[in-house]
A and B are shown apart, each in its own frame.
Chain A
Amino acid sequence: MIAWQPAAEPAIPARLQPALALEYGRSHDLTDAVLLRETDLPAEPAPDALVSPSQYLQLLANTLRGLDSPDTSFMLGQLMLPGHDGAASHALVQAPNLRALLETLCRFHARLTPLLRPRFETWDGVALLYWVDAYGAPSLRPALVEMHMTALVALCRWLGGERLPWRFCFNRGAPRHVEQHQVHLGADLRFGCQLDAMLVDAAWLDRPWPRASEMAARLALQATDGEPARAPGLTAALYDYLLEHVCASPTLERTAADFGVSPATFKRQLLRHHTHFQGELDQVRTHVALWLFQVRRADNEEVARYLGFHDAANFRRSFKRWTGLTPGPIRAALDGELGWFARLHGATGA
């Protein structure tokens, strides 16, 4: 059975990420009445108190709304990593290079970045890290993405001692406050993409970092072995599950059974996370289709077969429904001058 965590259940230690948001808000003259509105949280939680993800999300929403400043999400991101989560945070700091850092981050995502789950892929000289919503927070999603991307960029810059040439794509239109992205993330920004991702030339992955010590890294990783695993959020667990089973056309009934609940309960839970099964499945299939287009250079026929569609025409129609575009222009964009991945790859060869 798959381990997962609903948004309403306490899981995040109050002294970790929630405390940072609270402290940031207070240091910028927000009152507790504003910060804690509708969270049901006490102003001074007990040292071992747990906060539910939805309470933490509400706290972030209050902070963002209270400060009403375009840089809040970015400043919160600067504070987020490595965090103070004992062995997991220590392993991040001791990572000898970017690859080890990203692997550690993905392994302990439920502790280090509980709200967004990072997924790390690499192929053909490209390293890709994209962020999946863990608890279904559509209204906060843009701010969460800004926050998490800033956290990772800032951590890499600190540990690596230099700015990595990240490129960014965002599943949203161009914002008014693009200057914040330019300064806190970098100038290579692309809006209106299908996923929230950061890419970098894979050559950076194994370049040793200035302070790296083989032994310290090994010891730090050993220390994480004793750490109890924390279950990922429902939508993150579902994304992983769907990605694994995407070829077999997963159904709600089958998935609910694998998640250990009845279909009705599962439906209700998804609704509470502001989503539904078909939406999540379509998102995974979009990402898989894009990946096949880009990496395998697959045509519609092959992608349709892979995703279990009757024929290419059916797939084409569905793809249009998911993304608003037919596969043709998207593939052309990926291949052509606009191609985000292709351009990066071209730069590697140069």
Chain B
Amino acid sequence: MSEIFNILLVQNTLRTATPVVLCALGCLMSDQVGIMNIGVDGMMLMGAFFAVLGSYLFGSWLAGILFTMILGMLLGYFYYVFSVKFKSDEFIIGVALNILAGGLTVFLLRTLFGVKGSFSSPRIVPLPTLHIPWLESIPVLGPILSGNTLLVYVSWLLVFLCWVLLYKTPLGFHLRASGQAPEALRASGVNPDRMKRIASVLCGVLAALSGAHLSLGYLTMFSENMSASRGYVAVACVIFGGSNPPRVFLAALLFGFIDALGMRLQKYIPSDITSMAPYVVTVVMMVAVVLLKRRKPSGIKPAAQ
């Protein structure tokens, strides 16, 4: 038992949860303004590719992150133009974006690097790992909290920042209003479309960053379809986290835990079954959340006669 349940498991949980956390935060932003973004999976995949590309071309992880963020902004803006300006079905655009991502990354992989399947090179510079000396001296927490890659810490910070942005600032208020009552917002003199644009671009950047963590933090390579439906898991996390950053964070951590546990159990259970687990658990969680909500009495009580 101690071979499976140890500090390494917690470390792995944090590491595997991070892409889902980042992606879910992006998806949540988009969800708050009333745009369902199924395309985050494709954004993640393209982000992973462009992070590797930037890092490879300039020999610096910073360039990789920069590439990814610019790509994310463009993708987010693209999604906004199609879903809001052209009033397309978000679902179709999202699925098409995922197909485009699959095609484009493989195409670029073959045309630019001349390889099939996956690309790794010593010239790709991974994200740095942060060692915090005073944290490391703490007995149990030390090894868990210290020694992670940069984006792990960034994702924790972003959970907090997203929460502050959405619930404690005027901009956040406008963002939420543009999803819930766009007409009221317009009447108060703020253009809801502008809010949607901001949220969609943020969503693109966050989703693309989650890809950068996959290809520069978690691994140091790009492989075809490496997002492996994690974007959809992020969408599921947003749904059962009720678009609230801390709750979505917990949901993503749970996914990471199941994923990490599965990887450690591979010695005893066939790997296909352990890979299946996170998806099944996510579905079960979605059902559980609905059932739990049902049992709880609703907050609004009928007015007394």
Task: Check if A and B associate.
Answer: no
